[in-house]
Amino acid sequence: AFGPSIVSTGHLPPNPRVDELVEEAWQRYRGVGDGTVADYIPALAKASADWFGICIAGVDGVVHAIGDAERAFSIQSISKPFVFALVCQALGGGRARQSIGVNATGLPFNSVMAIELNADRTMNPMVNAGAIATTSLAPGANAEERWRFIRDGLSHFAGRELTMDQEVYESEAATNQRNQGIARLLLAYDRMYSDPEEATDIYTRQCALNVTARDLAVMGATLADGGVNPVTKERVVDEDRCRRVLAVMATAGLYEQSGDWLYEVGLPGKSGVAGGLVTTAPGKGGLGVFSPPLDAAGNSVRGQLVTRFLSERLGLNLF
Ligand code: DON
């Protein structure tokens, strides 16, 4: 439907072609009016439905951006794969898998039913139960050290110091009783590895870290580059950890729509309720899209359209 795709060669096409396609994607989807801006966290409801940014970062460190690619928004659930990468790095992939799990729930991201129905309880690090449990595994002698581990680690992925959106944090902290309940329930099942209130609070902070579409592209490209940030050239995690993270993103990155996503896009991705979407093309680069209106599962509508288009036109589909 999008015209001929470029045959996968192991690299992105030449840079001018990528620029052209990024511009084409932005023009093609800027007028789409579907979806709803999240309002279950009151501060998020202030976002404009028109904000729209796209960025691709190649593993060569070249960045292609258009629109609101430098506009800050809270990372939300897109923090989940990167925190899992850091915890895998600290504990080893085997222990992280044992402590959390890596199978899909097929249920919404904040499902309590998924905890009750599965012997694994936490299920995987992309849904809230598994993500809060992952945060509870962050190393550190106290809450401050564990928070710093996460904030600094995510900053290394982005290649700049990330800061928290205080308003979003306070707004979510005042309304996150469901996540507090999930953390307590996991404690009852021995699947919570530090104080549940503390883990929920640090999880809420990590979700409130501000990023841009450009940051997401660089973070995705770091996973594409075997754990080396292609802009700063710094190794953030080992290659083996990236494989594990990309596997869980492919399995559950778009929640109950992960199968549809993989069928159409063929790449590991992760969405967040502020409208961000990150995608990794292993060995090639990362794509970050920002557009606040979401579909019913909580995934950015334009983000999915852009990623499907660029995956096809750039020949990124893994299959
Ligand atoms: O746990 C929550 O409710 C949010 N802080 C993060 C949720 C999220 O981004 C789900 N995504 N699509």
Q: Is 172 annotated as a binding residue?
A: yes
Q: Is 179 annotated as a binding residue?
A: yes
Q: Does residue 172's CB lie within 6 angstroms of at least one atom of ligand 1?
A: yes
CA angle at 214 for the pair 203 and 152, rounded to the nearest 5°: 40
**What's the whole-number mean pLDDT along residues 279-287?**
97
Question: Which residue from 300, 256, 213 is spatially nearest to 35, judged by alpha carbons?
Answer: 300
Q: Does residue 272's CB lie within 6 angstroms of at least one atom of ligand 1?
A: yes
Question: Which residue from 274, 151, 255, 269 is spatially nearest to 212, judged by alpha carbons?
Answer: 274
Phi, psi of 66 (to 5 degrees): -150, 155
In tens, the pLDDT along 101-142 reads 999 999 999 999 999 999 999 899 999 999 999 999 999 999
What is the architecture, at CATH level 2, of domain 78-207? 3-Layer(aba) Sandwich (3.40)
Distance CA 51, CA 293 (A): 9
Q: Which residue has the tokens 């990167």?
A: 82
**Could you tell me which residues come within 8 angstroms of residue 209 by beta carbon, excluding any fewer than 6 positions away?**
74, 75, 79, 151, 154, 162, 163, 164, 165
C-alpha dihedral, 175 to 178 to 184 to 186, nearest 10°:
-140
Tokens of 146: 């564990």
How far, CA to CA in Å, does 30 sit from each of 45, 55, 214, 273? 20, 14, 18, 19
Which residue is closest in CA terms to ligand 1's atom 8? 77
| Confidence check: pLDDT of 224 > 60 | yes
User: 309: CA distance to ligand 1 center in Å?
Assistant: 25
pTM (whole model) above 0.80? yes
The pairing of beta strand 269-271 with beta strand 210-211: unpaired
Letter for the amino acid at 163?
Answer: T
Q: Does residue 179's CB lie within 6 angstroms of at least one atom of ligand 1?
A: yes
Q: What's the confidence (pLDDT) of residue 14?
A: 82
Q: Is 77 annotated as a binding residue?
A: yes
Domain boundaries, the chain: 15-76+211-313, 78-207
Letter for the amino acid at 158?
Answer: A
Tell me what the pLDDT averaged over the chain comes to. Answer: 95
DSSP secondary structure string for all residues of 108-151: -TT-SHHHHH-TTSS--TTSHHHHHHHHHT---SSHHHHHHHHH
- Contact by Cβ (8 Å): 200, 180: yes
> Do 15-76+211-313 and 78-207 show the same overall fold?
yes
Q: Does residue 206's CB lie within 6 angstroms of at least one atom of ligand 1?
A: no
Q: Is 203 annotated as a binding residue?
A: yes
Candidates 39, 41, 124, 128: which one to mutate for ligand 1, based on the most atoms within 8 Å of Cβ? 128
Tokens of 125: 């690090």
For CA atoms 74, 80, 85, 89, give the dihedral sign. positive
**What's the whole-number mean pLDDT along residues 32-38?**
96
The CATH classification number of 15-76+211-313 equals: 3.40.710.10
- Contact by Cβ (8 Å): 156, 229: yes
ipTM of the complex: 0.95
Query: Hey, is 277 helix, strand or coil?
Result: strand
- Contact by Cβ (8 Å): 249, 268: yes
Tokens of 163: 């800061």
- Please give the number of the atom of ligand 1 that sits closest to the Cα of 172: 5
Distance CA 247, CA 281 (A): 12
- Contact by Cβ (8 Å): 255, 109: yes
- Please give the number of the atom of ligand 1 that sits closest to the Cα of 274: 9
- Please give the number of the atom of ligand 1 that sits closest to the Cα of 207: 5
pLDDT level of residue 237 (50, 70, 90 thresholds):
very high
6 versus 196: which is more confidently predicted? 196
Phi, psi of 74 (to 5 degrees): -80, 140
User: 4: CA distance to ligand 1 center in Å?
Assistant: 36
